[in-house]
Structure formats: C-alpha cells, structure tokens
A and B are shown apart, each in its own frame.
Chain A
Amino acid sequence: MILDPARFVDMERVYWNELQAILDKLRVEPGWRMSIPEVQRLHYLYERCSADLARLDTFSTEPLLRGYVESLVSSAYAEIHETRAPSGKVRWRALGAAFPRAFRRHLGAFRLAVGLTLLGGAFGWFAMRADPDAKAVLMPFPGLLDPPATRVAREESARMDRLHGQKASFSAMLMTHNIQVTVMTLACGVTWGVGTVILLFYNGVTLGAISADYVGAGYTQFLAGWLLPHGAIEIPAILLGGQAGLVLAGALIGWGERASRADRLRSVARDLLAIALGAAALLVWAGLVEAFVSQYHQPVLPYGLKIAFGLLELAALSIFLARAG
C-alpha cells in the first residue's frame, strides 16, 4: 500500500514530467520523427507510468492522482500502440488513383444507387404522365414550372446573355449546392442507409418528372442539350455520393460479417473519403459547365455540339472510373 502519497509522487514526478514533455512535443510537432533511443525512452516511460497506474489501482484509490497518471498513460498508449502508418503530407496523385479504385471495389453499391435512382425516375415519369397537375410537387423548381414550349421559345429567342455578369457566382452557387447534396447523400448512410435510399429515389423522381415533361411535349433534343453537358458529370457524382452512403450503411449493418462494427467502419473509411473527394472534384467541373455551357441553347450553341460534349464527358468519366488507378 502506498502509505506516503507525497513521497510516491515526489519519486515518480520526474518520470511523469519527462513523459508529459514528450507527449506535448508530439502534439505541437505532429511530424516529429523520434530516433531509436528516443522511442525506447518513450516506451520505458510509458511502461513505468503504467506500472505506477497499476500500483495506484491495486493499493490506493486516490482519484486525483489516478486521474493524472491515467491521462498520461492514455496519451502514451495512443502513441505506442498506433500501428497504422503515419500520414503526413496529402498525396494528391495517390488520392487520384484511390478514387477509381474505391469506386470499383464497391461497384455493387454503385449499381444499387443507380437502380434506386432509376426506380425513382420511373416513378416520376409515370406520375408526371398520369397527373401533369402534380408538376409543382414532383419538380419544385420555379424555373421549370412553365410549360416546356414557353421556356424553349424564350431561351432560343433570347438576344441577350441572361447570365451576363452572374456566370461565375452562379457557377460557385451550383458547385457548393451540389457538393452539399452529395455530402448529404453520403452522410445519410449513417441512418443505416434509409436516408440515402430516400435521397436517391427522390433525385430519380425529379429527373423522371422533368424528362416526362419535356419528352412528352416533344422537346427531347432541348432536354438532352440542356442536361447532358453538366448532367453527364453531376448525376454520376451524386450517384457516387449515394454509393458511398450505401457502403457506409453496409459497414454499419454488417450483414454476414464477423468483424466488429468498428473494424468494418475502419476498413471502408479510406474508400469513403476517396469517393467523397472524387465526387466533389467532379462537381466543381459540373458547376463550371452548367453555368458557362448548359444555359446556352441553339442558335448560340447547337444542340448536336452540346449533346456530343456531354456524351464525350460521360465516356471519359466511365473510362477513368473503369481503368484509372
């Protein structure tokens, strides 16, 4: 039993202070690489403090002293037992390769995301065709509530650039909004996938309703010319967010897996990060294209050119995701 706590503290304080100084330095200088003797000293101090904690545990119940030594041991434990490789600089090239690899590793989740969006699209299509009055509910965007014929006539006959002096800020607004939607689609995976499924389905409903409206009115070419240049990148990016959300949900649920939930989540964390960053980068491009290209129609930009541009983007993205990395 520790009969004299003051003496015990006086004897051990020098080691506690030394360990504290090392831990403080590691906090202030995350990139500090210790030499072998320094690592050995850290290990010795950790073991000595662990022994002190064990003594306090067994022979004494001093909460103040225990809390102090406990905090030292817990901080040193994190440094000593961390076996994952330290990550210093961000390796952008490696991240660029990690994105398509992560996409391919979880192709099943991407297919499911596509399936849910198509299901929503089919629902939106048939709902719009069955009840055109539901337009305001199915696609609640003020700019789309006019009949397609009115909008097409207005935009094709425009003599002035309606986005003059606003293109950059419109583009920035689109980028931030779409990244937020994608992040939300990913993040909703934490609701065991329910939120992600709802968002993917809802996104599909909106796309299906818009398609039904314009195709039904005979403006298929306008629709393709308007949507494809940015949609060829934006829609897959949101689907990637959905893919990441479903992967997250899968790790949380862990059907048929023996690993603990913490291990399952740890195993997919890097893939989720790669997919999220990749999707965000795609949405920056999509935002630029939507503001600077998609809003301009025939005769300013021929539909054939816009559709070809969109298809080219889609092909490039597909090849990148299928082959890169």
Chain B
Amino acid sequence: MKALRIETPEGVVFSLQLATPVLRALAWSVDGAVLIASSVVIGRASGTFAVIGADWANAIATLLYFVSSMAYGMLFEWYWRGQTLGKRLFGLRVVDAQGLRLRPAQVVMRNLLRSVDFLPGAYLVGATACLFSRKGQRLGDLAANTVVLREAKLLEPDVERIAPAKYNSLLALPHLAARLRSRVDPEAVRIAVTALALRDGYDPRARVELFAELAGYFRSLVEFPEAAVEGLTDEQYVRSAVRAIYGR
C-alpha cells in the first residue's frame, strides 16, 4: 500500500496511508448511489412545482439536478473536512498533499476536474492516473495538490471480549512476545481480531480452516518453545497471540 511520508519541523516523521483505487471506487459507488437517489427525490419533488407550470417545474428540476451533482462532493468535502458519505463509510479522507488542512479552493478544484478524470467513462483516466501516480493522485488531486488517505482505525479492540482472560503462555516469554509485536502486520491483527469476535457464527469446518491459517501466519513470525504452545489448538494460539500483541 502506498504511503505519504511527512517530516514535521520538529523532526518527527510520520506516514499517511494512501487510499487504494479499489477503495476509492467503492466510496465513489456509494456517492453515485446517493446522487441517483437524490435525482429520484428531485424528480418527485419537481411534481410539487407543477403549480407554477410544467415548463418551470422542468427547469427547476434540471437546475437542481445539475447543482446537486456538481455541489455534492464540494459541500460534503468542505463541511466534513475531506469526506463525502462514501468516503466516510470506507474511512477515506481528502487532505492537502503536504498534510495540511484542506482549503475550499482545493475542494472546488478537485471536484471540477472530475469531468476529465471521468473520461471516457467510469473514471478510466482518473484510475489510470491513480495507478501511475506516486501519491495515488487522480488528475483532479494533482491539480488541487490533494491526496486521499485511508484513515487509521484509532481504537483498540476490546481484547477482554474477544479473548477472555486466561493464563497466556506466550506472555510468559516477554522477549518473544515483543518480537511477535514487532513483526506482525496490523492488517493481519485486524483480521484475527474480527475472526475471534465472530468465531461463534462460523460454520465449524470454516472456523477450523480459518484459525489454522491465522495460527500458521503467527507461528511463522516467531517460534515459541514447544513447552509454551503444547496443547494449544489453532484458535487458542491465535487468541493468545492477539493478547500478547496487545500486551495483556
């Protein structure tokens, strides 16, 4: 996954995860659905304007549809600080490419340039630009000097709920537990946490296969002594590994 590295004047370096074209497409499909829904609402509402004449009702509907399609992204990204409904749903956010706050002129510019990114249809130009750009920018982002980030999930999961407190043989070996924490991929931890939270809802065979795969991944990162993992099923191993990763 592409990342944007920023060094602050204090000398601290941080990186921001850039949204993938697939995530952006999913967010856009939600926004597209919202726009279709709004056009239906406008169509219905235009019926109420019929009292002033069918001609004016059509004119108002045409203008409302045009304004809503043009202003949707601009207004939401302005008021929600870089998020539309779709972006909020998928945890994406538009920010200045230097990590600074998004400005109204940038919001308008990136939305005006959608017309070029959309060409020849279904955002083909924009998606191609995203794939080849170092910062994952479509042409509108390039001109507005913006990037789309994937916001980090900020909250720790409720470890007690997903893996009730028991003796954890992996935590008895703090140096190996620390090595596990340092090597693990956050995405894999998220998958493991979700799998543990939903484990009672799985088909028994799928449950066994899923936890076998996850346990295999965690085992490949750090080799604990046989005595520490003896008798642990794959699911118990994953649970112990997650607790060790969160230091509990």
Task: Identify which of residues 119-174 in chain B touch chain A, using a CB-to-CB cut-off of 8 Å.
Answer: 139-140, 142-145, 151-152, 154, 156, 174
Bound complex: CA A272 to CA B144 (Å): 11
B109–A74 contact, CB under 8 A?
no
CB contact under 8 A between A184 and B116, given known A71-B152, A71-B154, A171-B59: yes
User: Which secondary structure dominates chain A's binding surface?
Assistant: helix
Is A208 an interface residue when CB atoms closer than 8 A count as contact? no
B79–A64 contact, CB under 8 A?
no
The one of A64, A70, A262, A266 in contact with B189, judged by C-beta atoms closer than 8 angstroms, is A64
Rounded to whole Å, the gap between the CB of B11 and the closest CB of chain A is 8
A79–B101 contact, CB under 8 A?
yes
Rounded to whole Å, the gap between the CB of B104 and the closest CB of chain A is 6
Residues of B near A57 (CB, < 8 A) are 12-13
Bound complex: CA A284 to CA B83 (Å): 29
A62–B14 contact, CB under 8 A?
no
B145–A195 contact, CB under 8 A?
no
B55–A169 contact, CB under 8 A?
yes
Bound complex: CA A103 to CA B6 (Å): 35
Task: Identify which of residues 21-73 in chain B touch chain A, using a CB-to-CB cut-off of 8 Å.
Answer: 53-56, 58-60, 62-63, 66
Rounded to whole Å, the gap between the CB of B192 and the closest CB of chain A is 12
Bound complex: CA A216 to CA B161 (Å): 85
Of A77, A165, A179, A276, the most chain B CB neighbours within 10 A belong to: A77
CB contact under 8 A between A68 and B55, given known A180-B115, A187-B113: no
A169–B143 contact, CB under 8 A?
no
B6–A77 contact, CB under 8 A?
yes
The one of A81, A82, A166, A269 in contact with B144, judged by C-beta atoms closer than 8 angstroms, is A269
B101–A78 contact, CB under 8 A?
yes
Is A298 an interface residue when CB atoms closer than 8 A count as contact? no
Number of chain B residues close to chain A: CB under 8 A: 63
Bound complex: CA A79 to CA B14 (Å): 15
B144–A74 contact, CB under 8 A?
no
- Using a Cβ cutoff of 8 Å, how many contacts connect chains A and B? 157
Rounded to whole Å, the gap between the CB of B157 and the closest CB of chain A is 10
Task: Identify which of residues 1-23 in chain B touch chain A, using a CB-to-CB cut-off of 8 Å.
Answer: 6, 8-16
CB contact under 8 A between A168 and B56, given known A78-B99, A176-B62: yes
The one of B14, B54, B106 in contact with A165, judged by C-beta atoms closer than 8 angstroms, is B54
A61–B152 contact, CB under 8 A?
no
Nearest-neighbor residue (CB-CB) of B64 within chain A: A172
Is B216 an interface residue when CB atoms closer than 8 A count as contact? no
Bound complex: CA A5 to CA B246 (Å): 8
The one of A6, A81, A87, A248 in contact with B143, judged by C-beta atoms closer than 8 angstroms, is A248
B145–A265 contact, CB under 8 A?
yes
Is A73 an interface residue when CB atoms closer than 8 A count as contact? yes
A176–B63 contact, CB under 8 A?
yes
Other than the given A4-B247, A176-B62, 4 more pairs (CB < 8 A) read A5-B247, A50-B12, A171-B59, A195-B116
B positions within 8 Å CB-CB of A: 6, 8-16, 53-56, 58-60, 62-63, 66, 79-81, 95-101, 103-106, 108-109, 112-116, 139-140, 142-145, 151-152, 154, 156, 174, 178, 181-182, 184-186, 189, 245-248
A-B contacts, 16 listed (Cβ < 8 Å): A61-B182, A63-B186, A73-B12, A77-B8, A77-B99, A78-B95, A87-B104, A168-B55, A169-B56, A173-B62, A184-B116, A187-B112, A262-B145, A269-B144, A273-B109, A276-B112
The 7 closest A-B pairs by CB, nearest first: A6-B247, A71-B152, A168-B59, A169-B58, A172-B59, A172-B62, A269-B105
